[in-house]
Amino acid sequence: MDKKKYMVTLWGSHPDAENDDCWTGESYATLAEARAAFELDLFDLVTSWSTEHHVKRMAELVDRAATEAEIGMVRMALLCQDANTMVGTAYIMIDGPDVNEVRKNPHFKARSRKSADDAEWRREQAMEAGMLHGCDAYNDVLEQG
């Protein structure tokens, strides 16, 4: 049974918005440990959470004799995943039996997330148009943006 009853979680919007966009989180045994994580700058928090995972993933690749190119690609994917977590996190929450607090990520810029989401959606639309109607349709959708 897990005795870690405190959680620090990262959210794309306010946790009370009821849209379930919690990216990730970690459990802690004590309020002091959770509070220390909650008060970290987001970069330091994500780095501390991901370091162990990155080391484990790299060791697995080395154990199975992955190529240098594969190791480089996985390393880049892990770093991109961390960067996406940092860019997309609007709120950080601490929750447990005797605490429930939410704070804004001071580095979050809603406009940059919106424009990134719009650009991604436009590329998705273009790809679907291209698969259905060819290259001209793909280009037409991209030029509309």
What pLDDT is attached to residue 2? Answer: 62
- What pLDDT is attached to residue 97? 92
Contact 2, 27 (CB under 8 A): yes
Task: Name which residue leads in pLDDT, 36 or 57.
Answer: 36
**Per-residue confidence (pLDDT) for residue 29, from 0 to 100:** 93
Cβ 7 vs Cβ 27: under 8 Å: yes
Mean pLDDT of 35-46: 91
Helix residue ranges, H only, 64-109? 68-88
Residue 94: predicted pLDDT = 94
> What do you get for the CA distance between the two ends of the chain, in Å?
52
Q: Which is nearest to 92 in space by CA: 12, 4, 5?
A: 12
Q: Can you tell me the distance from the alpha carbon of 60 to that of 18, in angstroms, rounded to the nearest whole number?
A: 38
